[in-house]
Amino acid sequence: DTALQKPREVFRLPTDLTAYDNRLCASLHFSSSTWVALSDGTGRLYLIKSGKRGSSASEKWEIVFNEELESPFIIAHSVSFVKSDTHSVAVLLLRVEKDELDTKGSGFHITLEWVTIAEISKEGDHRYEIVKRRVLQGKSVPHYAAIEPSGDGLMIVSYKPFKFMQDEDDKLEENDNAKATDEKKEPLYYWQQTEDDVTITVPIPEDIAKDDVKVHFSPDNICVTLKDQPALMEGKLYSSVDHESCTWILREKESLEISLIKKNEGSRWPELILGDTRGEFIMDSSQGSEISESLMHLTSEVM
C-alpha cells in the first residue's frame, strides 16, 4: 500500500520558459482540495481548478485565471474561502529584491505580496479577477508566513518585523486602521494550546460565583454565559473536541479557566472560534522554536 504509483501528468505550463533569463523555480501551493495556486517563476500567477485530486484517472486541471505580476516570485502560501457567497483565493507571494537605499546592510529586502482573487459575475459572465493587492516589506526571510483560513489576516514569524507599504490611495484606510488600533479593547479571553489540548482563560468580575457560570460543550461548539447575561463566548470551534472530557474551573474568582481536549491530537489550531477576533493567542517560547526549526530548511532554500 505504501509503494508509489507510476507518475501521471495532470498539468503542463502553457509557455516555454527557456527564453527567460531572470526566473525562479516554479512553485505551487494547494489552496484547498480542489484549487491550486501556481507560479511559473517568471512573474506570472496562475489559479487552477483541479477538481477533487486523486479521485479520477481523468482528472483535469483547468486554468481559470493567470496574470503577469511584474517581477518573479515564489508562492509562500494560499487559501481558498467563501465570504458573502463569493468564492475567493488569497495568495501570499515572496520576493527577495535589491534595495538601493540599503548601503550598510545586505543590500536586499524581502517583499510579501498578499493578493486576493475573487469570482466576479458581470452580465452572466463568470471570471476571476484580482480584487486587492497589499505589500509588506521586511529585512529577513520569514520563518513562517501564512494567510488565515478566513482570508482576513496574515500570520508571520520572522526575526525582523514586516510592515505594510501603502500607496497614496490607501492612506485613508491606514488612518482608519490606526484609529481602530487606538480604540482596541483588551482581549475578551486568552488561549494557548499543546498537541493534545487547548486552555482558555477568561477574566471575569470579582462578584461572579461558580453558580453564575454556565459552560456548554458540544463536539464542535462552545457556549459560555455569566448569570443571565447574553453569551460571553459562543460559536463553532476550529476543530472537534472530546466534549465529554472538557472541563472548566473558577480560579480565585478572578478568571474562568476552560480546558478543551482535542479530538485530532497533534493538530495546531490557527484560531479558537471561527471568525471570533476578540481573543488573544499566547504562544510559549518552545512552540515558537518548534515552528522556526521545522521551517528553517525552507528559508535556507529561498535565500
pLDDT of 179 reads 55
pLDDT, one tens digit per residue, over 204-249 is: 888 888 889 999 999 999 999 988 788 899 999 999 999 999 999 9
Helix (H, G, I), strand (E, B) or coil at 76: strand
Q: Give dist(CA 294, CA 282) in Å, integer.
A: 19
What residues does each domain of the chain span? 27-175, 189-295
Question: Does domain 189-295 sit in CATH 2.60.40.790?
Answer: yes
pLDDT, one tens digit per residue, over 95-113 is: 998 887 777 777 889 999 9
pLDDT, one tens digit per residue, over 120-146 is: 987 778 899 999 999 999 989 999 999
Report if pTM > 0.75. Answer: no
Average pLDDT of the chain to the nearest whole number:
83
297 phi, psi to nearest 5 deg: -65, -30
State mean pLDDT over 29-56: 87
pLDDT at 1 over 70: no
pLDDT, one tens digit per residue, over 148-159 is: 999 999 999 999
Burial class (CB in 10 A: 0-12, 13-18, 19+), 224: buried
Query: DSSP alpha helices (H): ranges in the chain?
Result: 171-182, 285-302
Residue in the block written with cell 517583499: 111
pLDDT of 298 reads 46
Q: Give dist(CA 134, CA 265) in Å, integer.
A: 35
